[in-house]
Amino acid sequence: MVKKIIVTGGSGMVGMSLKDIILDKNIWLFLSSKDCDLTKIDAVDSLFNKEKPDYVIHLAANVGGLFKNMRERTAMFRDNVRINENILEACNNHGVQRGIFCLSSCIFPYKPSKYPMDESMIHESEPHPSNEGYGYSKRMMEMQCRNYNEQFGREYICIIPVNLYGPYDNFNLNDSHVIPGLIHRFYNAKKNNTDLEMYGSGTPLRQFVHSYDIAEIIMKILNEYKETKPIICCNDEITIKDLTYLVGKLSDYDTNKITSDTSKSDGCLRKSVDGNYFNEIFSDFKYRSLEEGIKQTIEWFNENYDKCRK
């Protein structure tokens, strides 16, 4: 019988989405950075000794969008390697047999041998230079999960979602990912009756998954998945230009007032991944459409503007 499930990053977007959908909240402990400094091994060990979790869902990370990844690349690597190592070591030392560890599609090579990329290609070549620090830190966690599984017989499972968005996201104009950043910028442009600049050429392709979809997937993997192979969770591709116009339309903004700033970096032009493995295992699962998910996120942002992260 499961007595306790710890969720790191419990106050973040996926953690809060997970909290919204679970039924038996008594066995779940959602941790935030206020509860424990995960970069400190003694603090993590003390936490595990006190709480004695049966399962761990590791979502915590120093995370941000393209421009934060470029601006703070050393901290992105340092902090995430420390956090991931501390959590894995504590899991193993305290007998946690099964856990889910959240990676990112940023780990994949930026010059792959083929598109879309699959789970076998994580370490094929280097990640894109724009997110090198974050990408390598997440790659190392995949390697360590695999090592713990092989050496100690653990069941540490890595999930690899593409770009996540949804309620509880970080809408900060400097450090957010693309969808929450666009939602906030369109909010301001509409309020101030100004034009909106699309950053870059608009040609890069991206894939997106709603945070509630990932929360539901985590539950399915925790309870139903019988393997330890990493598993990609993804939806269809869209260009940044089409995404920008979609967010603008759903924000009820005059899209004729959208311009472009091609001096801004495009980042990686394509990092498309293959969700066939997930689809074979969970053939009954249906992702939300991008339009439905963005509409819901805009509504949440408008309703929670005064208290959301921005």
Predicted confidence (pLDDT) per residue in 89-113, tens digit? 999 999 999 999 999 988 999 899 9
pLDDT of residue 35: 93
DSSP secondary structure of 229-298: S-EEE---EEEHHHHHHHHHHHTT--GGGEEEETTS----SB--B--HHHHHHSTT--PPPHHHHHHHHH
3-state secondary structure of 166: coil
Does position 226 have pLDDT exceeding 80, yes or no? yes
Q: Among residues 110, 134, 136, 148, which one is catalytic? A: 134
Pick left, alpha or beta for residue 188 (phi over 0 → left; psi -120 to 50 → alpha; otherwise beta).
Answer: alpha
Residue 136 is among the residues annotated as catalytic for this protein: no
- C-alpha span between 228 and 160 (Å, rounded): 13
- C-alpha span between 284 and 274 (Å, rounded): 17
Burial of 92 (0-12, 13-18, 19+ CB in 10 A): middle
pLDDT of residue 130: 80
Q: CATH topology for 5-167+207-237+269-288?
A: Rossmann fold (3.40.50)
Number of H helices, E strands in the chain: 10, 11
Amino acid, res. 187: Y
Does position 175 have pLDDT exceeding 80, yes or no? no
Domain ranges of the chain: 5-167+207-237+269-288
Does position 195 have pLDDT exceeding 70, yes or no? yes
Does position 44 have pLDDT exceeding 70, yes or no? yes
- C-alpha span between 277 and 264 (Å, rounded): 35
pLDDT band per the 50, 70, 90 thresholds, residue 131? confident
Give the helix/strand (H/E) hosting 159. strand 155-161
Cα-atom radius of gyration of the chain, to the nearest Å?
Answer: 19
| pLDDT per position as a tens digit, 12-31 | 999 999 999 998 888 999 99
Mean pLDDT of 75-81: 91
Does position 157 have pLDDT exceeding 70, yes or no? yes
